[in-house]
Structure 1
Amino acid sequence: MVRFYAIDCEMIENDLGKSMVARVSLVDEALETVLDEYIKPTRNVADYRTSISGIKRGYETEAKPKDGVLRRVINMVNGQFVVGFNVKEDLEALGILHSKIWDMADSKHLDCCQKYALKILAYKELGLSIEDVPHDTVKDAKAVMDIYKKYGE
């Protein structure tokens, strides 16, 4: 049974100037992608942040309603640990309260690494080049899981 999932989300900006989740990805301990979904916006989109997020106008036609994706994420992570980089922000953006987290951005977990961006941390710790522009949530979640395996267990 999987005990840990790594999560990463990509955000776009709504008409109130707030971030909203446009893509969420989960990988398991074996680095298998168990969820990779685009989420329909819940408000009007002011900025797709395409240069960073890779999300483009029109993605909505293939995206799924947030409630359904949210239910799938909750069912998968229920009772499990969730690891991520700024994982608290990703879970908050999804509207999920979850107590079993390991947040890589919290330097107390990574004494060796201080507080780096995930891009720098993955390169320093794994020799991986990630977070190309645009970001890839699956690639980022896999890097997070690899770093977790190195330091978290």
Structure 2
Amino acid sequence: MVRVYAIDCESVQNDLGKSMVARVSLVDEALETVLDEYIKPTRNVADYRTSISGIKRGYETEAKPIEEVLRRVINMVNRQFVVGFNVKEDLDALGISHPKIWDMADNKHLDCCQKHTLKILAYKELGLSIEDVPYDTVKNAKAVMDIYKKYGE
């Protein structure tokens, strides 16, 4: 049986001015958090982007190596369906390509609305207030899953 997982990631900025994934969350159809991990930076962090990412200096002490987190993510989503808001960007940031995605950011799957941010979609479609600063990847993934269950199945 194919399962569905919603994904959301947050990034920090490295010393080369590039984004690095710092947190990844996966939620299943029952809205259970099946993965919520901080990822150890592979370069020096120049900007934690705390005001928008929620990632704070010192997160590195609890973070796991990217290879370990990627192995878990890949094992979970292999042959499964992955949904998200700008899901391709999240998967690209993780260095993963995946053939079975449903990206509500492109809205071709949603007959309900014009192009919106996840915050607006969650409020409009679910009456949910999300993405209060700082963002919460688990909360965002749950909103994505709820919208998917409303329109994508």
TM range (shorter): over 0.9
2:14–2:43: 8 Å Cα contact kept in structure 1?
yes
- TM-score, normalised to structure 2's length? 0.98
Instruction: State the Cα distance separating 1:2 from its structure 2 match.
Output: 5.7
Residues 1-22 of structure 1: CA deviation (Å, up to 9, x unaligned): 5610000001111111111100
Partner Cα distance (2:82, 2:109) in 1: 14
What amino acid is aligned across from residue 106 of structure 1 in structure 2? D
Instruction: State the Cα distance separating 1:66 from its structure 2 match.
Output: 0.4
Equivalent pairs counted in the alignment come to 153
- Provide runs of 4+ in structure 1 moved above 6 Å: none
- TM-score, normalised to structure 1's length? 0.98
What amino acid is aligned across from residue 130 of structure 1 in structure 2? I
Gaps of 5+ in 1: none
1:4–1:80: 8 Å Cα contact kept in structure 2?
yes
The corresponding residue for 2:55 is 55
2:2–2:81: 8 Å Cα contact kept in structure 1?
no
Partner Cα distance (1:63, 1:103) in 2: 27
Counterparts of 1:68-83 in structure 2, within 5 Å, are: 68-83=68-83
Counterparts of 1:133-148 in structure 2, within 5 Å, are: 133-148=133-148
* Secondary structure class of the residue paired with 1:131: coil
Coordinate RMSD, CA, aligned: 0.8
Residues 38-88 of structure 1: CA deviation (Å, up to 9, x unaligned): 000011111100000110111100100000000000000000000000000
What amino acid is aligned across from residue 15 of structure 1 in structure 2? D
* Secondary structure class of the residue paired with 1:109: coil
What amino acid is aligned across from residue 88 of structure 2 in structure 1? K
The corresponding residue for 1:93 is 93
The corresponding residue for 2:131 is 131
Partner Cα distance (2:113, 2:48) in 1: 32
Instruction: State the Cα distance separating 1:111 from its structure 2 match.
Output: 2.1
* Secondary structure class of the residue paired with 2:56: coil
